[in-house]
Structure formats: C-alpha cells, structure tokens
Amino acid sequence: MTETGSAELRDEYERRYTPGADHELARNIAWRSLCAANKADHVEMLLSESGARPRSVVEVGCGDGVLLAELARRGIGERHDGFDISERAVASAAGRPEIERAERFDGATLPVADGAYELAVLSHVLEHVPDPAPLLAEAARSAGAVIVEVPLEDNRSASRPSAQRGREVLGHLHRFARSEVHALADGAGLRVERELADPLPRAIHAFHAVGLPARARAGAKAAARRGLFMASPALAERSFTVHYACLLRR
C-alpha cells in the first residue's frame, strides 16, 4: 500500500469511527455486535472442524474490537491483541477488558515478531485494501494460521449499478470470487484447510429494514437466498453475495 493510499484509508476509517448522535451511535453498536456474532460463528466453526485451539489470537483490522472481544467471550484464545489503522477504533478496542493489546499500525507492517501468534484473523478487511496480497502475507508472517472472511461479490446481483454504489459507500475496493481468495492464499504460501460460505441469517438481512412490510420483504429475501444456497451453493454464489471464510495454513 502506498503512503498516500494508506493515509486516505486511515482518514476514511477515522471518520467511520467518529461518534454521531446518540441514537446513531446505539444503532451502530447494535449492528457491529450483530455482525461480530455472525463472524465469530464462522471462526468457531472453522476451528472446531479443524480441531485447532489457538491460545493467542491477533485481529488485523480489529476496528473497535467487537469481534475480538466476542471470540474471547467464547473461549477462543487466551490472549487477544488487535491492530487497526484508525486511532479512534484502537482507542475503543483498548478499552475492552478482553483485549490485552490494541495498537494502531500503518496498514502494512505489524509490529510483532515472526510467529508471534497462533491465529491471525482478517475479517472483512481484504476487500477494503488496495493491494490485499501483502497484508495477507504479513498476517501469515505473524501467525501459524490465518482465518480470512470476505464477501463474495463477483455475482449477478452485485453487478447492478445500485450494488456498485453500495460497495463504494462501504469502501469495498474488490469484488472477490472464491477462486481469487484461493489465489491470494497461494501467493502468500498458504493452503486452504477449511472453508465455509453463509448467505447470512434473517437478522442481518432485516436489520436496516424499517416498518413491517420492509421487514417481511427482508425475511422473505433471506429465506429465498438460504433455500437456493442449500439446493446449490455454487449457483447461489454466482447469483448473490454470500460471506466466505476460510482457515489457511502454510
């Protein structure tokens, strides 16, 4: 990542973690907590399937630490550290009792020794980074295993102009397909040990819906997507966005 690109990304995330009105702050906290629980489910499933029990966990791009704290509450790891490019986010993460170390980093190099952790987590980070390959390699340098989660947005639904505008608002710079994540892992000297995809639960689809009709439509959408996903995961990935997580090792 260039110095200019890093500065622009940092400024954007400082803005995202700037508190707004009380009702907006409460809603943002609720949204992040809901998403963190879903992401933690994915981490937990991947580790359970592999039989891994990491004692030390680092989250690269930890934000305000909500996912890292959720992993700690579930007993995933004994030591929990986080790094992020946003000062405001790191200040929030540092205030969580579950997190031992929360520090700002430059978005490129983690201030830790090789193999300092047993598990590194990059959850919904790589799609925001101009060049995700070096950051994945840096996470792999810091830990014996890496869990990555990204949205798979190389599909028909995400090709719509309205979806493109939504990605721009969210700061997504890449539309990943599963094969592209595999290629990134291979380039970092990693192999995919376990993987999963999730069309997301009703609670996430309906969170931003206002009013009963909108919530009903969101519920129907969630049910239809899960139905197609259960019938044909490959067709579902080509049709709409699912969240994809994988456990990587050298």
Q: Give the containing element (helix H, strand E) for 213.
A: helix 212-231
Residue recorded with tokens 């939504």 = 166
CATH number at residue 178: 3.40.50.150
In a domain, 224, yes or no: no
* pLDDT at res. 84: 98
Q: What is the DSSP letter of 195?
A: E
Residue recorded with tokens 């992993």 = 71
How far is it, in rounded angstroms, from Cα 66 to Cα 112? 22
Domain that holds residue 54: 3-199+243-249
Q: Give the containing element (helix H, strand E) for 246.
A: strand 242-249
Q: Are 212 and 193 in contact (CB under 8 A)?
A: no
pLDDT digits (tens, 9 = 90+) for 79-127: 999 999 999 999 999 999 999 999 999 999 999 999 999 999 999 999 9
* pTM of the predicted protein model: 0.92
- DSSP-based three-state secondary structure for 33: helix
pLDDT digits (tens, 9 = 90+) for 69-92: 999 999 999 999 999 999 999 999
Quote the radius of gyration of the chain (alpha carbons, Å).
18
In a domain, 99, yes or no: yes
In a domain, 213, yes or no: no
In a domain, 211, yes or no: no
In a domain, 235, yes or no: no
Nearest to 84 by CA among 129, 50, 41: 129
123: buried, middle or exposed (CB in 10 Å: 19+, 13-18, 0-12)?
A: buried
How far is it, in rounded angstroms, from Cα 82 to Cα 57? 8
Q: Which residue positions in the chain have pLDDT lower than 70?
A: 1-23
Q: Residue 22 carries which side chain, given as an amino acid letter?
A: D
Give the pair of three-digit tokens for residue 240.
Answer: 């709409």
* pLDDT at res. 25: 81
* pLDDT at res. 95: 97
* pLDDT at res. 114: 98
In a domain, 222, yes or no: no
* pLDDT at res. 4: 42
Q: Are 126 and 139 in contact (CB under 8 A)?
A: no
Q: Are 198 and 42 in contact (CB under 8 A)?
A: yes
Using CA atoms, how far residue 236 sits from 35, 41, 164, 177, in Å, is 21, 21, 19, 12
Residues in the chain: 250
How far is it, in rounded angstroms, from Cα 173 to Cα 101? 29
Q: What is the DSSP letter of 176?
A: B
In a domain, 208, yes or no: no
In a domain, 17, yes or no: yes
Number of domains forming the structure of the chain: 1
